Amino acid sequence: MGYKILAINPGSTSTKIALYDNENEVFTETLEHPIDKIEKYDKTIDQFEMRKDLVISFLKENRYNIGNLSAVVGRGGMLPTVKSGAYIVNETMLDVLSNRPVMEHASNLGAPIAYEIAKIAGVKAYIYDSVRTDELKDIARISGMPDIPRTSTCHVLNTRATAIKVAKKYGKKYQDMNFVIAHLGGGISLNVHEKGRIVDIISDDEGPFSPERAGRVPCRELIDLCFSGKYDKKTMQRKLRGNGGLKAYLNTVDAREVEKMIKNGDEKAKIIYESMAYQVAKGIGELATVIDGKVDVIILTGGIAYSDMMVSWIKKRVEFIAPVEIVPGENEMESLAYGTLRVLKGEEAAREYEI
């Protein structure tokens, strides 16, 4: 039987949608949202109607019959804590994402949009491998400041699907291998998978800077800057996420642009870009210690893993730990669809969300 799955992935300035017929992609479309339109909304959830209407209009204009869908899946948002895999979207989840998400993030719109479209189709809506999947070991939760325990926020969707793929390539089960994975996108995060469980992570504010994020910065100076009176809270948040990293140093979030600058002899661009590689390598080394160095494979994934320059810089520092596999791209639409397909086929169970 052919399962038809609609995947919805809201990003900061676009909503990606994709239709899958079993494992086969029927189409992927990026619905762009001009920044001036997005900026007029106070909270992320306020963009719900606008983005949902755009998705439905696109499907109607292209004569896709919503009634034919078997399931709809959205990127899982900033929920307090969830397990890996699939959850059925329910009213409790929608309430949390609408009224008290852990953080403002476009992924908070994934479940509500999926839910509305699934309602029209008369099928279930799911989220899969939410950014807030938290399987950390207790020892990983201690931060050094009791007020701020460590929790897990990282690129679970792509990294877990990629690890499952690489395990297959090695002729093994994901649950039988250990991976350290770096997702190199507009934001960078790393995680360590021990026998099928993400036991520790380095989130996008604990480690390497990235094209648009500052990563870990010296705390004392950060506090001073926050209280300097120079910046309001929103501006400080944007310095960490949105206007940090490559954007702050080189005024672009496009790694390809940075590589052009380097090829044209720009020394500043070179040291900044190489420092990003250096920090990613440091993160990989840090996470290797979590599993006593017993790393089967290191994986580099995300858009910047297309870059030979970046990959070679990271590889030379970490390949003494384990073989390095490169799986470029963010692969999120496929990961959402394949995860949901496993649920529809009965290979995995979907959880009911509760607080």
Ligand X SMILES: Nc1ncnc2c1ncn2[C@@H]1O[C@H](COP(=O)(O)OP(=O)(O)O)[C@@H](O)[C@H]1O
Ligand Y SMILES: CCCC(=O)OP(=O)(O)O
- Which spans of this chain sit near ligand X (rule: CB under 6 A)? 185-187, 211, 253-256, 302-304, 306-307, 330
Residue 47 binding partner per list ligand X, ligand Y, none, with a CB distance cut-off of 5 to 8 Å that depends on partner kind = none
Q: Are 78 and 100 in contact (CB under 8 A)?
A: no
Residues that bind ligand Y (CB under 6 A): 131, 153-155, 185-187, 189, 203-204
Closest CB to ligand X among residues 110, 302? 302
Closest CB to ligand X among residues 157, 167? 157
Closest CB to ligand Y among residues 212, 296? 212
E runs forming strands in 70-224:
71-75, 86-88, 124-128, 178-184, 188-194, 197-202
Rounded least distance, CB 253 to ligand X, Å: 6
Residue 154 binding partner per list ligand Y, ligand X, none, with a CB distance cut-off of 5 to 8 Å that depends on partner kind = ligand Y
Ordered strands of the 197-202 beta sheet: 197-202, 188-194, 178-184, 297-302, 324-328
The CA-to-CA distance between both ends of the chain, in Å, stands at 35
- Cα 107 from Cα 159, distance rounded (Å): 16
CA 161-240-144 angle, 5° bins: 80
Helices (H), 209-266: 219-226, 233-240, 245-250, 255-263
% helix, strand, coil for the chain, step of 5: 45, 20, 35
Residue 255 binding partner per list ligand X, ligand Y, none, with a CB distance cut-off of 5 to 8 Å that depends on partner kind = ligand X
Rounded least distance, CB 95 to ligand Y, Å: 21
Residue 8 binding partner per list ligand Y, ligand X, none, with a CB distance cut-off of 5 to 8 Å that depends on partner kind = none
Residue 244 binding partner per list ligand Y, ligand X, none, with a CB distance cut-off of 5 to 8 Å that depends on partner kind = none
Residue 59 binding partner per list ligand X, ligand Y, none, with a CB distance cut-off of 5 to 8 Å that depends on partner kind = none
Residue 144 backbone dihedrals phi, psi, to 5 degrees: 105, -10
Residue 199 binding partner per list ligand X, ligand Y, none, with a CB distance cut-off of 5 to 8 Å that depends on partner kind = none
Closest CB to ligand Y among residues 127, 322? 127
Closest CB to ligand X among residues 10, 196? 10
Rounded least distance, CB 344 to ligand Y, Å: 25
Q: What is the DSSP string of 250-304?
A: HS---HHHHHHHHHTT-HHHHHHHHHHHHHHHHHHHHHHHHTTT--SEEEEEEGG
- Cα 288 from Cα 133, distance rounded (Å): 20
Rounded least distance, CB 173 to ligand Y, Å: 26
DSSP 8-state symbol, 176: G
Closest CB to ligand X among residues 129, 330? 330
Closest CB to ligand Y among residues 204, 325? 204
Q: Across-strand partners of 71? A: 5, 124
Rounded least distance, CB 14 to ligand X, Å: 9
Rounded least distance, CB 330 to ligand Y, Å: 7
